[in-house]
Amino acid sequence: MKHLIFFLIILGGYAISAQKISDRKIERKLSKIEAFNNAHIAISISSLEGDKSQISFQDNKYMTPASNIKLLTFLAASQKYDSLPVLYYNSINDSVMQFKSSGYPLLFHPFYPDDVLANFFKKKQYFKYVAPNKAFDGLGEGWSWDDYNYYHAAQKSSFPIYGNVVEGTIVNGKLRTIPESWGLKSKMDTTKTAFLRLQNKNKFLINPKQWKKGDTLYRPFITSDSLFVKLLEQATGNSVKIHSQLNKNIPWKTLYSQNEDLIFKALLQDSDNGIAEALLLMLSETYFGEMQTKKVIDTIQRQWEPWLPDPIEWVDGSGVSRYNMLTPRTLVRVLQEIHKTIGWKIIQSYFPRGGISKVLKKSEGTEFYAKTGTLRHNHNLSGYLVNPKKKIYVFSIMVNHHTASTSEVRRGISELLQWFDKKLN
């Protein structure tokens, strides 16, 4: 019996040493951060390559990750691609070019200029677009229906063009759009919205009284293959037709990107939802020759099962959906796998850094590279913490169902991160 008691004491001492801070101390610290009052909080911190948590608090609880889901999208793309496929094509003859989409999203994109596709379509040829056989749903599961008029909810499509948004500016008192020719009405006095798309059709209304000088506004359009072809013809002056696949014996060639940095920085630093959704569709096209978000997510999860600590509720690439749920210890493992896949130098290049990124503030004496995730009443921060001795920790701090402002919660997370940093040193 004495030996058993002695063994339990030793075992208890080991558990305490493995867990750097007790739950009671963490709870006490959390209670002092007003922004966290009544919120649901889950925390996991580990060494860069360790299997056991250095600090954990409710790290097995499922939380709404918001844009932290982009970390999963990024890992999946990083594991699969050395170079991103931009387009599949073959020449039927000297004047006819057949092509199909890889899902690459930067054709005439308003924020991320990449000429590789634009240059391809500059060729004076007759183009035949081999469109997907299956109907395509531009909206993701669990997306909020009333976000349809905002850039962050741009629809998915088999071949994105202009980022699947209309860009509007006022020039000399008149509305100018890219792309052009949308049949816009010039006035709408019944709304306070400057630039509005009707919910179920590509009809755009404006109210000049609400338009601020110098504004550039972006509104998603309802996507379709026929609209894509129309816009591509308008932009290039070439003839483009939708066609069933011809000459199947002619092998497809692949046009590759030389601009992966642009895509991945858009994903992680700008948290661009359209880019995130496109990456999952690209993966689906690569795996199966068809674009199905659910199918590729299921495949990726099966590949990850050996190292995932918990199953994932994962439904989209961007985190817009409130159906996504995962635990902070799962995010920590994802971050460790990202490090294994791309290494520390590339992480430093792609991830927002405390003190540099617009979305993060640097904690005094703390260096970190991390991704935020924000939906109304939910804010999370997951990434890499570098202490003064240059030891790297992987962390995920998730704050769900808060009633304070996001800026207050962000400051609370920063305070908590500084506290953890001191305890880990």
- The domain that holds 45 is classified in CATH as 3.40.710.10
Tell me whether residue 268 is in a domain: no
Alpha-carbon gap, residue 260 to 263, rounded angstroms: 5
- Token reading at 330: 């799962």
Mind listing the pLDDT tens digit of every residue in the chain (425 residues)? Answer: 544 444 434 444 434 445 678 999 999 999 999 999 999 999 999 999 877 889 999 999 999 999 999 999 999 999 999 999 999 999 888 888 999 999 999 999 999 989 999 999 988 889 999 998 777 788 999 999 999 999 999 999 999 999 999 999 888 777 889 998 777 665 555 667 889 999 999 988 888 778 888 899 999 999 999 999 999 999 999 999 998 766 667 789 999 998 899 999 999 999 999 999 999 999 999 999 999 999 999 999 999 999 999 999 999 999 999 999 999 999 999 999 999 999 999 999 999 987 434 445 555 556 889 999 999 999 999 999 998 788 899 999 999 999 999 999 999 998 998 899 888 87
- Residues 55 and 104 both lie in one domain: no
> Closest Cα to residue 81, out of 257, 306, 214?
257
CB 62: neighbour CB atoms within 10 A?
19
Q: 29-79, pLDDT tens digit by residue?
A: 999 999 999 999 999 999 998 778 899 999 999 999 999 999 999 999 999
- Residues 363 and 403 both lie in one domain: yes
Give the model's pLDDT for residue 137. 83
Tell me whether residue 263 is in a domain: no
- Residues 402 and 298 both lie in one domain: yes
Give the model's pLDDT for residue 355. 43
CB-count burial class (<10 Å; 0-12, 13-18, 19+) for 30 = middle
- Residues 104 and 253 both lie in one domain: yes
Task: State CA 216 to chain mean position distance.
Answer: 23
Tell me whether residue 9 is in a domain: no
- Residues 252 and 329 both lie in one domain: no
- Residues 133 and 243 both lie in one domain: yes
- Token reading at 210: 């609400």
Phi, psi angles (nearest 5°) of residue 334: -60, -45
Phi-psi region of 30 (alpha: psi -120 to 50; beta: other; left: phi over 0): alpha
Alpha-carbon gap, residue 299 to 305, rounded angstroms: 10
Tell me whether residue 146 is in a domain: yes
- Residues 331 and 362 both lie in one domain: yes
- Residues 229 and 291 both lie in one domain: no
Tell me whether residue 3 is in a domain: no
Q: 351-388, pLDDT tens digit by residue?
A: 998 743 444 555 555 688 999 999 999 999 999 999 87
Place of tokens 């550039």: 216
Amino acid at 77: A
- Residues 235 and 93 both lie in one domain: yes
- Token reading at 143: 């997306």
Tell me whether residue 11 is in a domain: no
- Token reading at 55: 């600090």
Q: Is 410 helix (H, G, I), strand (E, B) or coil?
A: helix
Q: What's the number of domains the chain is made of?
A: 2
Task: State CA 205 to chain mean position distance.
Answer: 29
> Closest Cα to residue 329, out of 64, 62, 70?
62
Domain boundary residue, one of 257, 274, 293: 257
Q: Is 32 helix (H, G, I), strand (E, B) or coil?
A: coil
Per-chain mean pLDDT for the chain = 89
- Residues 97 and 197 both lie in one domain: yes
Domain hosting residue 248, numbered range: 85-257
- Residues 188 and 119 both lie in one domain: yes
Q: Are 99 and 252 in contact (CB under 8 A)?
A: no
Tell me whether residue 295 is in a domain: yes
- Residues 228 and 376 both lie in one domain: no
Tell me whether residue 162 is in a domain: yes
Strands of the 392-400 sheet, one edge to the other: 53-57, 40-47, 392-400, 378-386, 367-375
> Closest Cα to residue 312, out of 140, 38, 69?
69
